[in-house]
Amino acid sequence: MSEFDYDLFVIGAGSGGVRASRVASSHGAKVAVAEEYRIGGTCVIRGCVPKKLLVYASMFAEELNHAEQMGWTIDEAKFDWKRLRDHVNGDVDRLNGLYTNTLENHNVERILERATVTGPNSVKLASGREVTAKYILVAVGAWPYMPDVPGVEHCISSNEVFHLDEQPKRLIVVGAGYIAMEFAGIFNALGSHVTVVNRTQTILRGYDEGVTDRLLSIATARGIDFRMDSSLVSVEKQDDGSLLVDIGGPQKLEADQVLIATGRVPKTEGLGLENAGIQLGPKGEVPVDEKNATTCESIYAVGDVTDRIQLTPVAIREGQAFADRVFGKIDRAVDYDNVPAAVFSQPPLGCVGLTESQAREKFGSVKVYSSDFRPMKNIFSHTPERGLYRMITDADSGKILGIHMIGPESPEILQLAAVAIKGGLTKEDFDATVAVHPSMSEELVLLK
């Protein structure tokens, strides 16, 4: 008989926690996972999946603008926010059920309660029951950051945006990272008047400046109002329910909703890790080594809670590697170089590898190739929006260091480009590849 109740106890049933749970169980471990909300985590329940469904829905507005030029007459087209909202949330319910079934089919015990760490091998549940485990995996993810300003209680985060009773006619988005730019694009396309409040002059900090400058230009042309070098000072709810928003300028703005999208912080408050001798990082993150081990030898952490790379596929790989290594005796590691990323703005961005400035800092001499083109589908548009692809290479070897693109379907095209970079290909290898014509992806092998 084991001296512990479980071989593995996982706190958090998001992407990383679910993967680690089922893989550990498949290796013969007795596993339980505690989740205080719903199975599936941020990505499935209140993040990338429902958000992208909103993106797809909002893109119909642009397609309808193209329709007349394509010979279509669409009379009395109208949009129903509640119908879209309910359909999206219905799909979230479906996915929650699928993730639940995955755990059940792999004999993972589900405990729908909050769990806190009480020691190196013990966890206390909200019901008061205490259980023990040989290993504990922390996979609680991250949570939207909400600033400490007067009236912030009248604002919403990305958690609540999927459940709005009404589509806001006037929406203020605070922040200009990927979450902010995605929701700004969604509601702008759906007909809301969107104002983006950003504390600097730069949107999507850390992404290639060439493609972010292009996005800023296109978003502005589409009617998004950018208030740069501004910060949220206060929010006041007026008698008619609208919001009066102070962003530090001479005039206050009026809005129906204020969406705070200024980043996410690890959800470790009250988790009790100090009871196992684990000291959190400056942002509340759980410090881990290359094997996702903490300073307590029985406790590991994966995913956004480590604040390493906050991406679902990274959390999944970390969960898989942890379970294989600890329970399957498979020495598996996660490679964090050249992790591709997408921003589902309108139009979307796809990026992998180093930006031009990062490459110059690291390698010194680099060569940049680019294609500035009008996508064929935009020929039917009333606006002359152009796509931009940029390839960063080492000037001496020609090895590709980064690819950055903005334009329709960029994330779909990026995946294979990321494989090429991961494989160490050069610009010459791309040049030697026959183009797929007519397509946007052919621009990657025609860069000058």
Euclidean distance between CA atoms 254 and 233, whole angstroms: 14
6 annotated among ligand-binding-site residues:
no
Are 275 and 258 within one domain?
A: no
176 annotated among ligand-binding-site residues:
yes
3-state secondary structure of 26: helix
Are 19 and 115 within one domain?
A: yes
Catalytic residue from among 154, 382, 404, 437: 437
- According to the model, what pLDDT value does residue 1 have? 55
Q: What is the DSSP string of 120-145?
A: TTEEEETTS-EEEEEEEEE---EEE-
CA angle 93, 304, 325 (to 5 degrees): 100
- According to the model, what pLDDT value does residue 392 have? 98
Are 115 and 213 within one domain?
A: no
223 annotated among ligand-binding-site residues:
no
Contact present, 301 and 288 (Cβ < 8 Å): yes
Could you tell me if residue 1 is inside a domain? Answer: no
Are 129 and 273 within one domain?
A: yes
Could you tell me if residue 315 is inside a domain? Answer: yes
179 annotated among ligand-binding-site residues:
yes
Could you tell me if residue 174 is inside a domain? Answer: yes
Pick the last residue of a domain from 262, 286, 308.
262
Number of domains in the chain: 3
Q: Name the residue among 35, 40, 92, 16 with its Cα closest to residue 309.
A: 16
177 annotated among ligand-binding-site residues:
yes
Could you tell me if residue 193 is inside a domain? Answer: yes
Q: What is the pLDDT along the chain (448 residues), one digit of tens a residue?
A: 579 999 999 999 999 999 999 999 999 999 999 999 899 988 999 999 999 999 999 999 888 888 888 898 888 889 999 999 999 999 999 999 999 999 999 999 999 999 999 999 999 999 999 999 999 999 999 999 999 999 999 999 999 999 999 999 999 999 999 999 999 999 999 999 999 999 999 999 999 999 999 999 999 999 999 999 999 999 999 999 999 999 998 899 999 999 999 999 999 999 999 999 999 999 999 999 999 999 999 999 999 999 999 999 999 999 999 999 999 999 988 999 999 999 999 999 999 999 999 999 999 999 999 999 999 888 887 777 999 999 999 999 999 999 999 999 999 999 999 999 999 999 999 999 999 999 999 999 999 9
228 annotated among ligand-binding-site residues:
no
82 annotated among ligand-binding-site residues:
no
Host domain of residue 225: 152-262
Q: Name the residue among 170, 139, 143 with its Cα closest to residue 158.
A: 143
Contact present, 434 and 446 (Cβ < 8 Å): no
CATH number for the domain harbouring residue 424:
3.30.390.30
Pick the last residue of a domain from 246, 262, 278.
262
Could you tell me if residue 194 is inside a domain? Answer: yes
- According to the model, what pLDDT value does residue 69 have? 83
Are 184 and 244 within one domain?
A: yes
316 annotated among ligand-binding-site residues:
no
Are 190 and 82 within one domain?
A: no
323 annotated among ligand-binding-site residues:
no
Could you tell me if residue 333 is inside a domain? Answer: no
CATH number for the domain harbouring residue 192:
3.50.50.60
Q: Is the dihedral of CA 259, 264, 270, 271 positive or negative?
A: positive
Are 204 and 228 within one domain?
A: yes
Are 108 and 249 within one domain?
A: no
Q: Name the residue among 143, 224, 223 with its Cα closest to residue 176.
A: 224
Are 401 and 283 within one domain?
A: no
Euclidean distance between CA atoms 356 and 212, whole angstroms: 13
Euclidean distance between CA atoms 231 and 423, whole angstroms: 43
304 annotated among ligand-binding-site residues:
yes
- According to the model, what pLDDT value does residue 381 have? 79
Could you tell me if residue 336 is inside a domain? Answer: no
- Tally of CA atoms within 13 A in the half-sphere of 145 that contains its CB: 14
Are 113 and 37 within one domain?
A: yes
Are 28 and 164 within one domain?
A: no
269 annotated among ligand-binding-site residues:
no
- According to the model, what pLDDT value does residue 77 have? 87
Are 270 and 137 within one domain?
A: yes
Could you tell me if residue 432 is inside a domain? Answer: yes
Euclidean distance between CA atoms 391 and 147, whole angstroms: 37
How far is Cα of residue 160 from the mean position of the Cα atoms in its chain?
16
Q: What is the pTM of this model?
A: 0.95
Known catalytic residue: 106? Answer: no
* Bridge pairing between strands 299-301 and 130-138: parallel
Pick the last residue of a domain from 303, 327, 351.
327
